Amino acid sequence: MAKSTPPPGTSDIFPDEIPVWYRFENTAKSVFALYGYGELRTPVIEYTEVFKRGLGDDTEVVQKEMYSFEDRGGRSLTMRPEGTAGVMRCLAGTDVMNGNEKRVFYIGPMFRGERPAKGRRRQFHQVGVENVGRMSPEIDAENIAMLMHYLEEIQITGSKLVINTRGAREDRKPAEDALRNYFSDKIDGMCDDCKVRYENNIWRILDCKSRECQAPVESAPNVVEFFSEESQNYFKKVCETLDVMDVEYEIDYRLVRGLDYYVHTVFEVVHEGLGDNSALALAGGGRYELFLPDMKKPVIGVGFAAGLERLQMTQEALGVAAPEAGPAPVFLVSLGDEARAYSMKAAAELRKAGIPVVVEVESKSMKAQMRAANRVGARFALITGENELERSVVVCKDMEAGEQVELAQADVISHIKKFF
Ligand code: HAM
């Protein structure tokens, strides 16, 4: 293991890579604000029970992927594998349980112990949104539209929105019976994961990507037909609202999503830019009823999350240019101790005027200091030696044009300011 390598499935993000992250985060803040959403910051660690109960004991995330540990007080804690359960834990203490609506978004790292691969990380970052406390097909449709609006603003073109319904909780039993009945004489020839799913979480068979499962899955009954009329009408209304909002979508009756809390509307956005791994989605979400430990009534809402690393991969595949980094700094070169004292003072004034500055603090030759200016990509070098100090001037070298002029100390800020 090289000393500078972080653990598998995690990455360092360097300053020259950060502008694209700022774009994702700042656009999220501005787009979601247009829909009345405010940022909520919850802890990265939660009680393990929040996820076990919230996401469901039988989900893959809970069974195989959680980073859980016991703290010194003997509590079982988990590094959040997703944002929704923690947000619900937080909001369950507010008036959302009485049907009052809360609109929140979050941005931050999530942790899943998956096998690292392209687009599959152990620490990844999500922007997510939750509309909590109310239920209506219009809210679901607006939530989906907001996701598509966000993707458009960050220049992700060519993505495909896929939607489906999981029906109400009461619809599950008849649908599961129908699926179990259909797969009973086929399951022996299907993949090992599906054999487990057949027992624990039969819905997940529907979105299995294994080759041997494709034929039986493709001919599986459409479970939506087993849902109540009310649930079917709810979904119809979601689709109609998307139509009036001009949001393009595809219905895929095999889309079930991996977390147990989903009811009614579910959706995912996929993109060819993520490569040939069709299991990777850019973003996903849906309506949920999320149970928390010791609560008899679930918290209800609708939301989604998009993975920032996957957004970045897609942007790269699309050739979207990374945003410009901040302006290049002014580099202060000083020859002698007194000159350096002046440079420190001038730097403080320039920074107050909004100009980024780097001061060379070591006594190096002029040549070495100019090399350092080049290394940081300086826009200007301001050079002060004894001679300049005596006359209250500085030499200002334009590093792009290669020209230099002498400036009165008092004129430095107004001269430089023109270029920033
Ligand atoms: P999810 O589908 O598990 O849903 O994750 C949402 C997004 O997070 C994915 O579409 C993907 O972009 C990203 N993601 C997930 N796992 C990884 C990984 N291992 N590496 C890189 N990116 C990943 C949720 O998390 C739900 N909480 C979404 C939601 C909010 N549903 C309702 N409200």
Q: Tell whether 246 and 348 lie within a shared domain.
A: no
* Chain segment 285-320, per-residue pLDDT in tens: 999 999 999 899 999 999 999 999 999 999 999 999
Same domain, 269 and 349: no
Ligand 1 atom 16, closest CA: 120
Residue 356 resides in a domain: yes
- Beta-carbon contacts of 369 under 8 Å, excluding residues fewer than 6 positions away, are 331, 333, 334, 360, 381
Point out the domain boundary residue: 293, 318, 343: 318
| Span from the CA of 307 to the centroid of ligand 1 (angstroms) | 6
Which atom of ligand 1 is least distant from the CA of 269? Answer: 10
396 in any annotated domain = yes
In the prediction, which pLDDT does 83 show? 98
Of 264, 291, 318, which one is at a domain's C-terminal end? Answer: 318
User: What pLDDT is stored for residue 280 in this prediction?
Assistant: 87
Q: How large is the average pLDDT for residues 75-90?
A: 98
SS3 for 301? Answer: strand
- Closest-CA residue, ligand 1 atom 31, reads 285
Q: Are residues 313 and 350 in the same domain?
A: no
- Whether 255 is in a domain gets the answer yes
Residues 236 and 257 in one domain: yes
Looking at residue 351, its pLDDT comes to 97
Among 126, 132, 280, say which to mutate for ligand 1: greatest number of ligand atoms within 8 Å of CB: 126
pLDDT surpassing 70 at residue 228: yes
Q: How far is the CA of 90 from the centre of ligand 1 (A)?
A: 20
- 286 and 406 housed in the same domain: no
Find the domain containing 412 and state its range.
Answer: 330-417
pTM of the predicted model over 0.85: yes
Give the three-state DSSP class for 166: coil
Could you tell me the CATH number of the domain that includes residue 159?
3.30.930.10
Whether the pLDDT of residue 269 is over 80: the answer is yes
Same-domain status, 337 and 307: no
Both 248 and 153 in one domain: the answer is: yes
Residue 176 placed within a domain:
no
Residue nearest to atom 33 of ligand 1 (CA): 303
Rg of the Cα atoms in the chain: 28
Mutating to test ligand 1, I would choose from 10, 88, 110, 266 the residue with most ligand atoms within 8 A of its C-beta, which is: 110
| pLDDT tier for residue 201 given thresholds of 50, 70 and 90 | confident
Average pLDDT for 113-123: 94
Tokens 């009823």 map to which residue?
289
Distance 35 CA to ligand 1 centre (A): 21
> Is residue 325 pLDDT above 90, yes or no?
no
Q: What are the pocket residues of ligand 1 if the criterion is a CB atom closer than 6 Å to any ligand atom?
A: 82-84, 112, 114, 119-121, 124, 126, 128, 130, 258, 281-286, 288, 303-307, 309-310
Share of the chain above pLDDT 90, in %: 91
Q: Is 103 helix (H, G, I), strand (E, B) or coil?
A: strand
End-of-domain residue from the set 270, 298, 318: 318
In the structure encoding, which two tokens stand for residue 282, read together? 């850019």
CA of 343 to the centre of ligand 1 (A): 49
Same domain, 40 and 156: yes
Residue 184 belongs to some domain of the structure: no
Mean pLDDT for the stretch of residues 111-138: 96
- pLDDT of the residue at 278: 61
188 belongs to a structural domain: no
Reported in sequence order, the residue ranges of 199-282 that DSSP labels E, i.e. its strands, are 250-251, 262-270
198 CA → ligand 1 middle, Å: 24
Provide mean pLDDT across the span 382-390. 97
* 336 and 254 together in one domain: no
Tens-digit pLDDT profile for residues 148-196: 999 999 999 999 999 999 999 999 999 999 999 999 999 999 999 999 9
- CA torsion, ordered 354, 356, 361, 365, to nearest 10 deg: -120
What total number of domains does the chain contain?
A: 2
Residue nearest ligand 1's atom 25 by CA: 82
At 258, the pLDDT band (50, 70, 90 cuts) reads confident
Residue ID of nearest Cα to ligand 1 atom 15: 307
Query: What's the gap in Å between 10 CA and the centre of ligand 1?
Result: 16
pLDDT for residue 3: 74
Q: What pLDDT score does 327 carry?
A: 92
pLDDT digits (tens, 9 = 90+) for 23-37: 999 999 999 999 999
Centroid of ligand 1 to alpha carbon of 278 (angstroms): 15
Percent of the chain surpassing pLDDT 70: 99
Assess whether pLDDT exceeds 90 at residue 246.
yes
Do 233 and 376 reside in the same domain of the chain? Answer: no
Find the 281 Cα to ligand 1 centroid distance in Å. Answer: 8
Task: Read off the pLDDT of each residue in 39-66 and give the average, rounded to a whole number.
Answer: 95
- Supply the DSSP symbol for 333: E
Q: Is residue 306 located within the same domain as residue 338?
A: no
Domain CATH code at residue 363 = 3.40.50.800
214 in any annotated domain: no
Sheet holding 299-307, edge to edge: 38-39, 102-111, 123-132, 299-307, 283-290, 262-270, 160-165, 250-251
**Shared-domain flag, residues 55 and 146:** yes
Task: Supply the DSSP symbol for 63.
Answer: I
pLDDT over 60 at 70, yes or no: yes
Provide the 3-class DSSP secondary structure of residue 254. coil
* Average confidence (pLDDT) over 393-407: 96
Question: Which stretch of DSSP H or E encloses residue 283?
Answer: strand 283-290
- Distance (Å) from CA 388 to ligand 1 centroid: 59
What pLDDT does residue 2 have? 63
**Unique residue bearing structure tokens 């001919």:** 219
Is residue 87, in this structure, part of any structural domain at all?
A: yes
Residue nearest to atom 11 of ligand 1 (CA): 307
Q: What value does the mean pLDDT of the chain take?
A: 95
